[in-house]
Structures are given as C-alpha cells and as structure tokens.
Amino acid sequence: MTKKAPIRTCIACGAQGDKRGLIRFVRTPEGDVACDASGKAAGRGAYVCADAACFAQVRKRRMFDARLRVKVSADDYERLQAEFGALCEMREAAQ
C-alpha cells in the first residue's frame, strides 16, 4: 500500500502544492504555535505559502487560532512572523 501524500493548502490564499514552497506551522504539545522548518514535526499543522503577503493575511485574520485550535497572542504572531521571514530567506538562499 502506498501512502497518499496529503494535499497541502495555504490557509491564507488556498493555493495547493508546494510550487512556491509552503511553510508549515505546528501546534506544540505545550499549546504554542511554532514554525516547523523540517515540515515533519508531530501535531496539528497548517501551511502558509513562503510569501510575506500570505503570512500578513494569516496574522491579520488570526487564522492560526481557528486552524490550530489554539489561542495565539499578538506577541506570538509577531514572533512567528519573524521566524517565517527567516525561514523564507533561508529557503531562497538554498535555491
């Protein structure tokens, strides 16, 4: 039996696949949200395009709260945006 690859969808714009590279965020066992650089961390996850515009949407509409069923504070969004930005740069540098 082959394992079906899950369809990855950006929670902000709805784009599927990883053409532009989706970045995964995961709910940690502590109830935080973390940027999942490996994309393999266990737990409920959400994908966002490696695009600042998409993250801005997520932040503005506090989309992690609903998607990951966790309370994410404004400070956390600030921190996640910084992590997201750093990861986007790393990915671009690696290409």
Stretch that binds Zn ion, among 35-43, 47-55, 66-74, 79-87 (CB under 5 A): 47-55
The answer to whether 11 contacts Zn ion (rule: CB under 5 A) is no
- Please pick, from the candidates 33, 35, 50, 54, the single residue that binds Zn ion as defined by CB under 5 A: 54
Rounded to 5 degrees, what are φ and ψ at 48?
-135, 135
* Smallest separation (angstroms) from Zn ion to the CB of 29: 27
Across the beta sheet with 33-36, the strand order is: 33-36, 22-27, 45-49
Positions 19 through 38 that interact with Zn ion (CB under 5 A): none
CA–CA separation, 59 and 72 (whole Å): 10
- Please pick, from the candidates 33, 46, 49, 80, the single residue that binds Zn ion as defined by CB under 5 A: 49
* Smallest separation (angstroms) from Zn ion to the CB of 52: 10
E runs forming strands in 1-95 = 22-27, 33-36, 45-49
* Smallest separation (angstroms) from Zn ion to the CB of 1: 32
Q: How many CA atoms lie within 13 A of 34 on its CB side?
A: 14
